[in-house]
Amino acid sequence: QQQVKQSPQSLIVQKGGIPIINCAYENTAFDYFPWYQQFPGKGPALLIAIRPDVSEKKEGRFTISFNKSAKQFSLHIMDSQPGDSATYFCAATILRSSASKIIFGSGTRLSIRP
Amino acid sequence: DTEVTQTPKHLVMGMTNKKSLKCEQHMGHRAMYWYKQKAKKPPELMFVYSYEKLSINESVPSRFSPECPNSSLLNLHLHALQPEDSALYLCASSQDPTVLAGVETQYFGPGTRLLVL
């Protein structure tokens, strides 16, 4: 089944806290797992992505933790800032012959309080 | 340059109008995509062009007609739309996965906010 389940739907965290967004999938045929950040009125922007053979990836304050056996992955934002307030989509990507197909999670609206 | 540009930014049209959305990228990407995004929802894939040929049509109504004139341009022609078609229309592009060296994925443009009256 080509679904990615994301939680929570919304999240409020104080500045400096560590918001955590969780995702789960069923299909084992996904090739990699990106996270997108979207600000109001803008298109989604790739934040960080991980292959299923890697358990953790860090880029700046953003970390993906990946549990292949549980088919779960999560995003952690260290030292969160008000500027991180946005909607975050986890996703799973299938590489086709010459294009990729992204299956998006439902999104998490994150608000960082000053 | 990792930018996908879209014009216009906003569009208001009546149900009998014909309009077009435009998308451009100069990253040498050979796959281009149209998505529709409703408020508080994730993007929904509409069409995929690969090497300027339509490779995926996600059962989109014929009132939406995509066109890929060349490897850098993607158009979406709109005709006889319904009010429920009002949404943010996003264009994206990606490199050919068969030549990917890393975990490269799709790059999105800022979108066209469409309102159908």
pLDDT more than 70, % of chain A: 97
Q: Rounded to an integer, what distance in angstroms lies between the CA atom of residue B77 and that of residue B47?
A: 12
Lowest mean pLDDT among A95-99, B7-11, B100-104: B100-104
Q: Rounded to an integer, what distance in angstroms lies between the CA atom of residue B9 and that of residue B24?
A: 13
B20: closest CA of chain A, how far (Å)? 19
Pick the residue from chain A with its C-alpha nearest to B37.
A43
Report the pLDDT averaged over residues A79-103. Answer: 90
pLDDT higher at A97 or A84: A84
Q: Report the residue from A34, A51, A104 with minimal CB separation from B42.
A: A104
Helix (H) or strand (E) holding A31: none
The pLDDT value given to residue B101: 52
User: Would the pLDDT of A97 be above 90?
Assistant: no
DSSP summary character for residue A15? T
- Interchain contact, B94 vs A101, CB within 8 Å: no
Asked if A49 has any chain B CB less than 8 Å from its own CB, the reply is yes
Q: Report the residue from A99, A107, A109 with minimal CB separation from B31.
A: A99
Lowest mean pLDDT among A61-70, B25-34, B36-45, B89-98: B89-98
User: Would the pLDDT of B116 be above 90?
Assistant: yes
Report the pLDDT averaged over residues A41-46. Answer: 91
- Interchain contact, A100 vs B31, CB within 8 Å: yes
Q: How far is CA A93 from CA A52, A84, A114, B92, B114, in A?
A: 11, 24, 34, 14, 27
Report the pLDDT averaged over residues A103-108. Answer: 95
Contact B6, B22 (CB under 8 A): yes
Which residues make Cβ contacts (< 8 Å) with residue B103, sequence separation at least 6?
A: A32, A34, A49, A50, A51
Our CA angle for B32, B35, B36, nearest 5°, is: 160
User: pLDDT class for A106, splitting at 50, 70, 90?
Assistant: very high
Q: Report the residue from B45, B56, B103 with minimal CB separation from A51.
A: B103
User: Would the pLDDT of B99 be above 60?
Assistant: no
User: Would the pLDDT of B92 be above 60?
Assistant: yes
B38: closest CA of chain A, how far (Å)? 11
Lowest mean pLDDT among A11-15, B25-29, B98-102, B108-112: B98-102
The answer for A 72-91 residues in CB contact with B (under 8 A) is 89
The pLDDT value given to residue A77: 97
